[in-house]
Chains A and B, each alone.
Chain A
Amino acid sequence: MTNDLIKLSAQSVNLWFGSKHVLKNINIEFQQNKVTALIGPSGCGKSTLLRSFNRMHDLLPDVRIEGKLMLEQQDIYEKNTSVTQLRRRVGMVFQKANPFPKSIYENINYGLKINDVPKEERDGIVEKALRESYIWEEVKDELQKPATRLSGGQQQRLCIARTVALRPEVILMDEPCSALDPLSTLKIEELIIKLKKDYTIIIVTHNMQQAQRVADKTVFMYLGEVIEMGNTDDIFNNPKNELTGNYVKGRFG
């Protein structure tokens, strides 16, 4: 069963911004082809953890990371690991839709171009990615239009398309719906569920309903620590930890 394969894992990970200890002894595993929700109050380190999996902290001057982060058998922070290769395998969708200030077509084409995908294959991949992200019908006649003219929800789906076009193995999503209206949110949730069969997805969310709708597994974090993780059902209905229970019932946040 490939289903139980551990795709991504963190072993005793600690992270500091300067002298601020943000991630504390994180031990966590993410299974292949599952959606895992990361929940927890603001500032508990969800984004920080997510971003350490595709080395988005690399350019910050005073970050210190200890412990091991693994993508299958590969050590993410090993000296010989190529960051660009890694980021191609571990894609990311951000909180605020951030399309390139370029045309819709170019938004997807750019990633293909810099990853040396042959020119004659690109048109097909662009179309496929847009179809997979359920935005093709809306934009197929205006691929040359600037992406910034799209609505917020469309922009976010375009960003997802940009990510899936590269066929990553993991997709990290940091509150992808927090700036969107309910309808766009619903569309993106459907999309996440459809993408699950091909990708391993980790999604940070503040929306408890959303976590229950899309996630197989849920991880609850608090003040930089993983408090509890398990099947989404168990976390929401039979939490072992009191903190988890209080949080998912909305008693603090």
Chain B
Amino acid sequence: MKKLTPIIEWGTLLFCTGTVCFYLFVILYDLIHRGAPSLSWAFISTQPSAGMTKGGILPAITGTVLLTLITAVVSVPLGISCAIYLNEYAIDSWLTRVIRACIRNLSGVPSIIYGLFGLALFVQGLRMGTSLLSAGFTLGLLSLPYIITTTEEALRRIPASTREAALAVGATQFESIRDVVLPAALPGILTGVVLTLSRAAGETAPIMFTGVAFYINSPAGYLNQEFMALPYHLYMLATQHQAIDVVRPLAYGTALVLIMVVFILNLTAFYIRYKHSKNDE
């Protein structure tokens, strides 16, 4: 029996790992197998045509890229500052504990609720209309709690002795954070930011009410106009189009492009982390 246990343990773990990898592989294979044929330079560089049954998805790509940029501009500086305040300056009181609990709860709120909130606040309340900006702000709000939480965790991993080292040579608290703590926490912060942004890039529900459109005429996104985005485009092609069977390859192609956009985002973060670890470790 003693001899058997390690084999059972090992076997169970291997089985679980294998199952996960298997799913991942099947999904990727399916996507590539069905999506790759519709990929071409024209697909990613031209407008859709003939009622979406032909042509490319350029506006959806630019839409998603711009949307993610706006999301980042809104959520990254705000989220990181908030995390710095909570972790470095705020004393541990019931108030900060309540704030922290709220932030954690916010990250559990379904994204469609953010969509409704964005509709009420940005689209109607602030009269920004259904637009790229409204949708970007909405996704920015959605991303904030994640960025705050992951940044705070990254900051918490920096030991007190590192901060003290800076203070002991005469740095102010601000200088110690800016020059020592933040650079040391950067890889962790970056990982959180990228994971959050790639999640935001794939969101459909929050942008549905706040600015995304099935089709627009102009190729580039204007901040105050509606826009196309990859996940919504995919959703429409896969479920709402009149000729679903005709556009199926295009839907798979869109999915593949979306995955690639997210992948490139992750790769960038990986590269920065790699360079950072080569310099500093």
User: By the criterion CB–CB under 8 Å, are B165 and A56 in contact?
Assistant: no
Are A98 and B91 CB-contacts (below 8 A) given A87-B169, A148-B281? no
A102 within 8 A of B: yes
Can you pick out 10 interface pairs between chain A and chain B where the beta carbons lie within 8 Å of each other?
A54-B168, A61-B91, A87-B170, A100-B166, A103-B279, A110-B169, A110-B179, A111-B169, A114-B171, A163-B169
Q: In the complex, what residues of B have CB within 8 A of residue A92's CB?
A: 164, 168
Residues of chain A contacted by B175 (CB below 8 angstroms): 114
Chain B residues contacting A99 (CB-CB under 8 Å) are 165
- Which of chain A's residues 135-151 have a Cβ closer than 8 Å to chain B? 146, 148-149
Q: Residue A100 contacts which of B92, B165, B170, B279 (CB distance < 8 angstroms)?
A: B165
Is there contact, CB below 8 Å, between A84 and B168? no
- Known contacts A100-B180, A101-B183; decide if A91 and B281 are in contact (CB<8 Å): no
Hey, which chain A residues are within 8 Å of B184, CB to CB? 101
Chain B minimum-CB-distance residue to A172: B168
CB pair A91 B169 closer than 8 Å: yes
From B175, which residue of chain A is reached at the shortest CB distance? A114
A84 to B174, CA, bound (A): 12
Nearest residue (CB) in B for A51 is: B164
A146 to B184, CA, bound (A): 12
Can you list, as one digit per residue, whether each of B169-203 has a CB less than 8 Å from chain A (1) or not (0)?
11111010001100110000000000000000000
A196 at the interface (CB under 8 A from B): no
Taking Cβ atoms with an 8 Å cutoff, the residues of B that contact A are 91-92, 159, 161-162, 164-173, 175, 179-180, 183-184, 279-281
**Candidates A61, A94, A102, A166; contact of B280 at CB < 8 Å:** A102
Query: What's the minimum C-beta distance from B35 to chain A, rounded to whole angstroms?
Result: 42
With A96-B161, A101-B183 in contact, is A163–B168 under 8 Å at CB? yes
Additional 6 contacts, C-beta under 8 A, given A59-B173, A91-B168, A163-B168 = A92-B168, A96-B161, A100-B165, A101-B183, A110-B166, A110-B169
A133 CB to nearest B CB, Å: 14
Q: How far is the CB of B91 from chain A (nearest CB, A)?
A: 4
Q: Chain B residues with Cβ under 8 A from A157's Cβ?
A: none
Q: B279 to chain A: which residues have CB within 8 Å?
A: 103, 146
- Cβ distance B223 to chain A, nearest Cβ, rounded Å: 39
Measured in the bound complex, the distance between the Cα atoms of B166 and A18 in whole Å is 26
Query: How long is the Cα–Cα vector from A110 to B180 in the complex, in angstroms?
Result: 10
Ranked nearest first, the 6 interchain pairs of A and B with the lowest CB-CB distance are A111-B169, A98-B161, A88-B170, A92-B168, A98-B165, A61-B91
Tell me if A46 is interfacial: C-beta within 8 Å of chain B. Answer: no
Interchain CB contact under 8 A, A114 and B168: no
Report the minimum CB–CB distance from B140 to chain A (whole Å): 30
As a 0/1 sequence over residues 74 to 104 of chain A, the CB contacts with chain B under 8 angstroms (1 = contact) are 0000000000110110011010101111110
Judge if A115 is at the interface, Cβ distance under 8 Å: yes
Residues of the A chain whose Cβ atoms lie less than 8 Å from the Cβ of B168 = 54, 56, 87, 91-92, 94, 163
Nearest residue in A to B91 (C-beta to C-beta)?
A61
Q: Within 8 Å CB of B164, what residues of A?
A: 56, 92, 94, 98
A166-B281 in contact (CB<8A): no
Given A98-B164, A148-B280, also A61-B92 (CB < 8 A)? yes
Taking the nearest CB of chain A, how far is it from the CB of B179, in angstroms? 7
Please tell me if the beta carbons of B281 and A149 are within 8 angstroms of each other in the complex.
yes
Does A34 lie at the interface of the complex (its beta carbon under 8 Å from any beta carbon of B)? Answer: no
Cβ of A217 under 8 Å from chain B: no
The answer on a CB contact under 8 Å between B161 and A146 is no
Please tell me if the beta carbons of B171 and A84 are within 8 angstroms of each other in the complex: yes
Evaluate contact between A114 and B165: CB separation under 8 angstroms.
no
